[in-house]
Amino acid sequence: MSATRRQFMLSAAATLVSSAWPSISFSQTEPRRGGVFNVHLGSEQRILNPSLRASTGVYIVTSKIIEALVDLDADGKPVPQLATSWSSSKDGKTITFKLREGVKWHDGKPFTSADVQYNALELWKKQLNYATALQLYLHAVDTPDAHTVVFRYERPMPLDLLLRALVDLGYVVPRHLFEGRNVLENPANTAPIGTGPFKFVEYQRGQYIIAERNPDYWRKGLPYLDRVVWRIITDKSAATAALETGQIQLSAYSQLALADLDRLRKNPKFEVRSKGLEANVFNNTLEFNFRRKELADVRVRRAIVHAIDIKFFIDNFLYGLGKAAAGPIPSSSTFFPKGSQPPYPFDVKRAEALLDEAGYKRGKGGQRFTLKLVPIQNGEDVPLLATFIQQSLEAVGIKVEIVQYDIAGALNAVYKDGSFDIATGWHQYRGDPAVSTTVWYRSGSPAGAPWTNQYGWQSAKVDKLIDDAATEIDPVKRRALYAEWLKSVNEELPIWMATEREFYSVVSRNVQNGHNNARWPSSSWHDTWLKA
């Protein structure tokens, strides 16, 4: 009985998915079992433990081996994975999860609430990036029985925030391998053991990582694939070549050169897509250092933004992949206030007028003042934008000197030493402003914490809005708070979010059931299969 119901659910899900994804042709035949799925990995990972390291580079590998409490569906809504249901108390301080029964770790031990308790208190709260802030007010995790966990918070925790965050920050590793041992040097960090559809086999540094089918996976009969192999290819052109020769079938999260993305778009063997990766969105940024008196004047900051024709940059340097941002909340987010527009459109005359008004008239040689620009090399487009900013500002009389560092050096210069005037890099939005976005604006982060407010700027109003929204359990009120916050930061402009961009995957058309949720490259691939 249960088997037929499961089959029904599966086929219902398939129908749903196929109607939502008209670009994939679902063959009527049964999914093919077996096969090796080869995936591009652009950089070596130090450890393969998503409970200690939250980054797409870790997820793209470990989410097949280790599972989180929840995952996302095609619409970007949290759906059950290791947790089957959840509820929040009226005051928002107690959140209860029911866990899936009959789930086993790859070493045969049962998965229970004790595992979740340990991960939440010892790993997420103490070690995991972004989760230490998220779980700051988590003070206890109760385990009334083996399949129930109760999270107790000192302040109200919005359920939708927690669920959305746990998709990335809620991976569970086995308690019995970590408790009482050195967490950071644990062998399970590089030879991961989880509950996922694939078991870890081998990690050859500098070459590849292999995982194979887990025959005891809790979704009976799945996964379809025999193996997943991640090949470490650091050179973008070489990775494109590996795709074209069929050595790899997927390169996700825009790890290829933009020029190659544009070229592969025309290749019938591949699909270049952003749908299926929309859970993460990123911006090109421009950070201002308020310790420079010129930049502390909001008119100068606005003038700088008015002086840069970002549309031109997107069309000509990014192959049109992106659009001008209307602030730090992307237009695809549920928190985006409808109808918001980029606040300071390209207008050189207005820029000149604002600079004049601020008292920085053109001096000798038409120059107003000089700024030091530090590019934070997140991607190949960062140096391009840096040069574009330099030339755009030159036109309104601001001379820009670009100072080159590698990424570690740039982070140090901008977020620790404050030895920059303006900086440009990427900001990533992870589904909810409270996960990794508001930290760019909230005052109080100690110096040396990258991608936090280290600009010498502070606004009591913005700080209060951020704090209120993080503990507001009414979703409607929460959205309103963020709308107000967006308005404030757009007005003050401590950082300019220049572009709004999606990540891209290049995937072979042989891959079936691909990109069928909002973070597919970081999901478990339990239903993925390869056409012969």
Partner 1 sequence: MRFLALAGRRLLAAVPALLIILVGLFLLLQLAPGDTVDALVAQMGGADATMIANLRDYYQLNDTVSVRLGDYLWRLVHLDLGYSAIYGKPVLLVIAERLPATLLLMGSALAIAFSVGMLLGVIAARGVNRWPDTLISTLGLVFYAMPSFWFGLMGIFVFAIWLDWLPSGGFASIGLSLHGLARVLDIAWHLILPTITLSTIFLAIYLRIMRASMLEVSTQDFIRTARAKGAGETRVVVRHMLRNALLPMVTLIGLQAGTMLGGSVVVETVFALPGLGRLAYESVVQRDLNTLLGIVFVSALLVIAINFLVDLLYARLDPRIAGTR
Which chain residues interact with partner 1 by CB under 8 A? 36, 43-47, 53-58, 126-130, 132-133, 184-185, 189-190, 204-208, 210, 227, 229, 231-235, 237-238, 241-242, 244-245, 247, 405-413, 416-417, 428, 436, 439, 445-446, 448-452
Give the tokens for residue 461.
Answer: 């109003």
Q: Tell me the closest approach of the beta carbon of residue 92 to partner 1, in angstroms.
A: 22
Closest among 398, 289, 291 to 351, alpha carbons compared: 398
Nearer to partner 1, 170 or 343 (CB): 170
Please answer whether residues 375 and 404 qualify as being in contact, where contact means their C-beta atoms are separated by less than 8 angstroms. Answer: yes
Q: Tell me the closest approach of the beta carbon of residue 218 to partner 1, in angstroms.
A: 26
Nearer to partner 1, 39 or 83 (CB): 39
Q: Tell me the closest approach of the beta carbon of residue 380 to partner 1, in angstroms.
A: 15
Sequence-ordered list of residues with C-beta below 8 angstroms from that of 258, at least 6 positions apart, any chain: 318, 319, 321, 380, 381
* Cβ density class 189-221: b for 16+ within 10 Å, e for less: bbebbbbbbbbbeebeeeebbbbbbbeebbeee
Element (H, E) at 56: helix 56-62
Give the tokens for residue 78.
Answer: 């949290």
Please answer whether residues 58 and 189 qualify as being in contact, where contact means their C-beta atoms are separated by less than 8 angstroms. Answer: no
Nearer to partner 1, 43 or 341 (CB): 43
Q: Tell me the closest approach of the beta carbon of residue 21 to partner 1, in angstroms.
A: 28
Q: Tell me the closest approach of the beta carbon of residue 446 to partner 1, in angstroms.
A: 5
Closest among 106, 110, 117, 108 to 191, alpha carbons compared: 106
Nearer to partner 1, 413 or 423 (CB): 413
Q: Tell me the closest approach of the beta carbon of residue 91 to partner 1, in angstroms.
A: 26
Using the structure block, give the residue that is written with the tokens 């450890």.
47
Nearer to partner 1, 52 or 99 (CB): 52
Q: Tell me the closest approach of the beta carbon of residue 185 to partner 1, in angstroms.
A: 7
Q: Tell me the closest approach of the beta carbon of residue 238 to partner 1, in angstroms.
A: 5
CA distance 344 to 330: 16
Give the tokens for residue 104.
Answer: 């086993």
> In which region does residue 99 sit, left (phi positive, over 0), alpha (psi from -120 to 50) or beta (all else)?
beta
Q: Tell me the closest approach of the beta carbon of residue 335 to partner 1, in angstroms.
A: 19
Give the tokens for residue 179.
Answer: 């408790």
Nearer to partner 1, 103 or 134 (CB): 134
Burial class from Cβ neighbours inside 10 Å (0-12, 13-18, 19+) for residue 321 reads: buried
CA distance 516 to 15: 12
Q: What is the DSSP letter of 110?
A: B
Nearer to partner 1, 272 or 411 (CB): 411
Give the tokens for residue 520.
Answer: 């597919």
Closest among 161, 57, 116 to 431, alpha carbons compared: 161
Angle, CA 91 vertex, CA 89 and CA 95 arms, to 5°: 35
Q: Tell me the closest approach of the beta carbon of residue 94 to partner 1, in angstroms.
A: 24
Nearer to partner 1, 85 or 267 (CB): 267
Nearer to partner 1, 38 or 392 (CB): 38
Whole-angstrom CA distances from 96 to 29, 90, 142, 173, 277 are 41, 12, 9, 19, 29
Please answer whether residues 105 and 216 qualify as being in contact, where contact means their C-beta atoms are separated by less than 8 angstroms. Answer: no
Q: What is the DSSP letter of 329?
A: S
Nearer to partner 1, 277 or 300 (CB): 277
Give the tokens for residue 523.
Answer: 């999901």
Nearer to partner 1, 337 or 379 (CB): 379
Nearer to partner 1, 14 or 47 (CB): 47
Residue type, position 140, single letter: A
Q: Tell me the closest approach of the beta carbon of residue 57 to partner 1, in angstroms.
A: 7
Give the tokens for residue 459.
Answer: 């606004």
Cβ atoms within 10 Å of 488's Cβ, excluding its own = 15
Provide the 3-class DSSP secondary structure of residue 20. Answer: helix
Q: How far is CA 198 from the centre of its chain?
A: 23
Nearer to partner 1, 190 or 340 (CB): 190
Q: Tell me the closest approach of the beta carbon of residue 358 to partner 1, in angstroms.
A: 32
Q: Tell me the closest approach of the beta carbon of residue 386 to partner 1, in angstroms.
A: 17
